[in-house]
Structure 1
Amino acid sequence: MTERRVVVVGYQAAELLDIACVTSTLIAANVHGATPPYDVCLATPSGLPVTCSSGLTLQGQQALQRIAGPLDTLIVSGGIGREEAAASRVIVGHVRRLARESRRVASVCTGAAVLAAAGLLDGRRATTHWQYAHELAARHPEVSVDADPIFIRDGNVATAAGVTSALDLTLAFIEEDHGAALAREVARNLVTYLQRPGNQAQMSMFTAGPPPGDSLIQRVVDHVTGHLDADLSTATLAAGAGVSERHLNRLFLKHLGQTPGRFVRRARTEAAAHLLASTSLPMTAIATRCGFGTAETLRQAFVDRYGIPPSRYRLTQATA
């Protein structure tokens, strides 16, 4: 192909940012010398205008029904109109058809619901906006839904978590297609990070949700997050709470969906990520402050959680 044909699928009540983060970033890549350039098109049912969830109206550039492959990339946007889109035979049928003629397929945010309805996520690991991950998992048990990462690549299918994570995924596509130098140039032009790691969590455990419903668990959680450098073994936590280890495990699984040990490891790793991004503390000091003991233990936990070593995370995220 002389151009990389990219089709972005929009529909009524799609999210404007889901669309614009993709299209604007790819056009910026063209401006900065992408060769071959991206030929970007917004496809809508029958080529009709769509009113986005923000109230703004976008004119479809081509009718979804009339687009033919081969395509480089097919991307389905998300939005509050996802349920109607996922129930539309026209949208789902043509997305399924075009996916067979595309080098890679992607969704942004709740656009994953359309890919799932088309059977394109069957047997794959996928993500979506953290608020709708449970809904996607319940409706499509054949999909392995992971609400944590900002984007996931499984074979030639990618899913991005929500809204601005489309920017991160698109920058990853540009780097894959044209190299890191062009991706960096585009990121600088857009005044954004070069690329947040795909395994970076959508939401921190410290801000993601309401306090657990059990007062005992709340006390343990408060103790953990306030004393990361202390002995936080399950035995010690259980003794401090006045319950058995087995009962504490049951309560954590019921209210937080994870064991005390996993909660502690995640709390320490997220705290380390914050310090890496916001301070110039050496790795050994961060490891000690967050309760890891050694820099190597911190590195292992960080790779398990984010998929990259802490040194690389600091290079891409540091603000201090």
Structure 2
Amino acid sequence: MPEDGRATRRVAILAHHNVTMIDVAGPADVFSHANTFGAAYETVLVSPDGADAVTSNGLTLRVGAAAAEVAGLDTVIVPGAYGMVEHPFASSLVNSVDHLTAVSSRVASVCTGSFLLAEIGLLNHRKATTHFTRLELFRTRFSAVDVQDDALYVRDGTITTSAGIGSGIDLALTFVEDDYGPELARLVARQMLIFVQRPGGASQFSAASRFSAVENRPLRALVDAIVADPAADYSVAAMAAHAHVSPRQLARLFADELSVTPARYVETVRLEAAQTLLQRGYTVQSAAELSGLGSAPTLRRLFLARLGVSPSVYAERMTGA
């Protein structure tokens, strides 16, 4: 036990064949940095048989124990692996997940690790997510899971699933905040040179990166204009005039090219603009006006609906104010 009397929180991360390195290293580094600021995490790397694991980038992870040997965990993290979901899971891997989740009070997955949690039935009738490229496969394979599209991570009770890669860091920071408070989590994020600690409901992508592959030139010019100046007039009539099409053609172009309605696209861009403004220290009202959302109540409703947090809470998390 640490000198200040805090009980050590035991975290196990499951390493397995071809595991994605950052899915393991990201959360592990968060807990390690947290310890330098007064947290008390003990992180152990385990594998199904106790053997070292070769990751997807060819490096080898030194494993501390076989999964069946550990117990009394506070947290278990199940990472994903490239190509893992394309083949039946090895029974030893499934058994390891079954054991680890049974002896831990908090369970999490990173990337396609959610498939392993679903395989043992742990996500049945729960909300969950995974990497965006595997969402439809996840939904098809596990029909009892309430799959959440385009979220960094999803919490349902004591189980959290994340989208993968960098979102595993967001996931671990959230656990640090739960365990030791927001200030310590912010110190860790700052130490790791992470610009912001993103809420789970945030999109896996910015609007610009998600919707940049637009082939229709008039539509491309319009979406670029929306990103450049989200507070301008983007009524249906104004957008149709900008793209030199009828309102009906505008709706069809957005559906065909972007799989979204014009209004939803504008809303998404404005929401992200408001997030950036709040991160820069603007008030909720100013962020609402400058992003084109108009008023603080409108911004609050949109934040709660899309991100699951209020603008003021979001600003506190991002700025430490």
TM-score normalised according to structure 1 size:
0.83
Using the alignment, how far apart are the partners of 1:210 and 1:134 within structure 2?
Answer: 22
Q: Which of residues 1, 10, 34 in structure 1 aligns to 2:15?
A: 10
Distance 1:216 1:113, change over 3 A: farther
Q: How does 1:113-262 map to 2 (within 5 A)?
A: 113-192=115-194, 195-214=197-216, 217-218=219-220, 220-238=222-240, 245=247, 248-262=250-264
Using the alignment, how far apart are the partners of 2:71 and 2:130 within structure 1?
Answer: 26
AA paired with 1:39? E
Contact 1:85–1:114 (8 Å) recurs in 2: no
3-state secondary structure, aligned to 2:230: coil
3-state secondary structure, aligned to 1:47: coil
Aligned to 2:31: 26
Using the alignment, how far apart are the partners of 2:287 and 2:272 within structure 1?
Answer: 11
AA paired with 1:305? R
Matched, 1:58 2:61: yes
Question: Structure 2: where are the runs of 5+ without partners?
Answer: 2-6
Using the alignment, how far apart are the partners of 1:239 and 1:124 within structure 2?
Answer: 44
Aligned to 1:269: 271
% same residue: 38
Using the alignment, how far apart are the partners of 1:307 and 1:62 within structure 2?
Answer: 38
Contact 2:197–2:318 (8 Å) recurs in 1: no
Using the alignment, how far apart are the partners of 1:301 and 1:8 within structure 2?
Answer: 35
Aligned to 1:87: 89
Using the alignment, how far apart are the partners of 1:33 and 1:229 within structure 2?
Answer: 44
AA paired with 1:28? H
3-state secondary structure, aligned to 1:27: helix
Q: Could you tell which deviates more after superposition, 152-161 or 302-311?
A: 302-311
Q: Kindly state the Cα deviation for residue 29 of structure 1 after the two structures are TM-superposed.
A: 3.2
Q: Kindly state the Cα deviation for residue 282 of structure 1 after the two structures are TM-superposed.
A: 5.1
Contact 1:193–1:316 (8 Å) recurs in 2: no
Using the alignment, how far apart are the partners of 1:206 and 1:232 within structure 2?
Answer: 17
Using the alignment, how far apart are the partners of 2:37 and 2:108 within structure 1?
Answer: 23
Using the alignment, how far apart are the partners of 2:220 and 2:259 within structure 1?
Answer: 14
Using the alignment, how far apart are the partners of 1:68 and 1:50 within structure 2?
Answer: 17
Contact 1:171–1:194 (8 Å) recurs in 2: no
TM-score normalised according to structure 2 size:
0.83
Aligned to 2:49: 46
Distance 1:85 1:185, change over 3 A: farther
Using the alignment, how far apart are the partners of 2:292 and 2:188 within structure 1?
Answer: 38
Distance 1:214 1:126, change over 3 A: farther
Using the alignment, how far apart are the partners of 1:203 and 1:254 within structure 2?
Answer: 20
Using the alignment, how far apart are the partners of 1:225 and 1:33 within structure 2?
Answer: 42
Q: What are the Cα deviations for residues 236-293 of structure 1, in whole angstroms up to 9, with x where unaligned? A: 4346656665554454334323222212211211122233334x55554443333222
Using the alignment, how far apart are the partners of 2:293 and 2:49 within structure 1?
Answer: 57
Contact 1:11–1:81 (8 Å) recurs in 2: no
Contact 1:44–1:62 (8 Å) recurs in 2: yes
3-state secondary structure, aligned to 2:98: helix
3-state secondary structure, aligned to 1:24: helix
Aligned length: 315
Using the alignment, how far apart are the partners of 1:45 and 1:191 within structure 2?
Answer: 33
Contact 1:229–1:289 (8 Å) recurs in 2: yes
AA paired with 1:179? G
Q: What are the Cα deviations for residues 85-122 of structure 1, in whole angstroms up to 9, with x where unaligned? A: 86222112331233233211101122222222222222
Q: Could you tell which deviates more after superposition, 114-123 or 215-224?
A: 215-224
Distance 1:126 1:28, change over 3 A: same
Contact 2:130–2:161 (8 Å) recurs in 1: yes
Q: What are the Cα deviations for residues 157-203 of structure 1, in whole angstroms up to 9, with x where unaligned? A: 10122223222211211221233344344444434357322222221
